[in-house]
Amino acid sequence: MAHPSQLGLQDAASPVMEELLHFHDHALMIVFLISTLVLYILVAMVSTKLTNKYILDSQEIEIVWTILPAIILILIALPSLRILYLMDEINDPHLTIKAMGHQWYWSYEYTDYEDLGFDSYMVPTQDLLPGQFRLLETDHRMVVPMESPIRILVSAEDVLHSWAVPALGVKMDAVPGRLNQTAFITSRPGVFYGQCSEICGANHSFMPIVVEAVPLTHFENWSSLMLEDA
């Protein structure tokens, strides 16, 4: 969960998000070193009256400042491509959930069950309970078992939406007439918040996403209760 004055990303709740955090730190350190070097060169050029003839015309230094950026780009590209393939990998999911975007709410269908589905609306501010977050809480949470591969099928019924949960490292566009898929594994129990990340109309800001990760036995009890209510 993000908090005021937060400078970094949210704490990772899935293995993919942990990889993304590591890559963020890796790329940020490279950017920091490059920025420091460029700043030092600018200050040195402005503050000194001395001129080095080997910097004005030198084949060796031209070779260095041509090859070095290429090496830096490779050091950034290789881990980036690795994470892209990891994010696209969906191996033997234990549960499949279909998330449909509407104006302006989400509906979820647990396709492994015969009749388990519900709509998820934002809780109005006047109906919030103590401890609930304004504009982020829903009347029905998407409950998933922790430490299990979950596949999400994402689509929309009207306009473009985007199903995104930052703590899980998941963001997938919901396109009418198209079924996109993504996957995640929650590494710990908890409640993780997200929002529609594609401008979809007047109430775009009011269709939050809440994913609750629970132990498998709790998930089985929850699904049994939901099926009984249905």
Predicted confidence (pLDDT) at residue 230 exceeds the cutoff of 70: no
The structural domains of the chain, with segments of one domain joined by +, span 15-88, 95-229
Upstream peptide bond of 104 is cis (omega within 30 degrees of 0)? yes
Structure tokens of 162?
Answer: 């985007």
- The CATH homologous superfamily of the domain defined by 95-229: Cupredoxins -  blue copper proteins (2.60.40.420)
pLDDT digits (tens, 9 = 90+) for 98-147: 999 999 999 999 988 888 999 999 999 999 999 899 999 999 999 999 99
Whether the CB-CB separation of 110 and 223 falls below 8 Å is answered with yes
- DSSP conformation letters of 197-219: -S--STTGGG-EEEEEEE-HHHH
Instruction: Name the fold adopted by 15-88.
Output: Helix Hairpins (1.10.287)
Measured from the Cβ of residue 12, the count of other Cβ atoms closer than 10 Å reads 19
Residue 220, pLDDT score: 92
Average pLDDT, stretch 70-89? 93
pTM of the entire structure?
0.85
Higher-pLDDT residue of 57 and 161 is 161
